[in-house]
Amino acid sequence: MSVEQLWVIGIAALLLFWALGAYNRVVALRGAIAAAWAQVDASLQRRAMAVAALVTGLRGQMPDEKGTLDAVLVAQAKVQAAADALRPGPVKADHALALAQAEGALSAALARLLALLDHQPALRQSSELAPQLAVLHDTTPRLAFARQLFNDAARVYNEAARQFPTRLLTRLFGFGPAGQL
């Protein structure tokens, strides 16, 4: 073999090892997003159960607020649908955006419901509703923390995917940008 052939083989091997390393890094960063999503998903499911139980408990005690209770359930259903769409591929930016928008609608509906409950302290203290309210209040900071972990993982992935020359590999293998919650 000539010196030129050895140089070509050496450069090709170097490029191959770089490509493997870059690919593995991007795949690991996608895995970090999936792990962070698991925490968000667990918090979302916990909150969904608390919201459903809370609304069920309030149906008989607040018949005049049927519209508010229905709005909470509709918003929760939208969050659940968006989470179901995001679950198979937590890196998809459009699904993450849909979840963030649904979360905003649910937050507004829950804020209205909790404001109504503030005017009826006896309901807040009832043995039937107090556990669901406690779970709801406990889940809110957990969900915020899990969402922040998800967003941080997505940011790191997006930064790595935008860097040159890794950007060439992400296009080649179809790695799209990750969305934020």
Domain spans of the chain, in order of start: 3-173
Q: Using the CB atoms, write b or e for 26-40: b if 16+ within 10 Å.
A: beebbebbeebbebb
- Round to whole Å and give the CA distance between 69 and 64: 10
* Correct CATH for 3-173 of 1.20.1440.20, 3.40.50.300, 3.40.50.2300, 3.40.190.180: 1.20.1440.20
**pTM for the model:** 0.86
Phi, psi of 37 (to 5 degrees): -65, -35
pLDDT digits (tens, 9 = 90+) for 18-74: 888 889 999 999 999 999 999 999 999 999 999 999 999 898 888 888 999 999 999
Amino acid at 54: L
pLDDT digits (tens, 9 = 90+) for 82-125: 999 999 988 888 999 999 999 999 999 999 999 998 888 887 88
- Count other C-beta atoms under 10 Å from residue 3's C-beta: 7
Tell me the CB-side half-sphere exposure of residue 34, using CA atoms within 13 A: 8
pLDDT digits (tens, 9 = 90+) for 122-151: 878 888 888 899 999 999 999 999 999 999
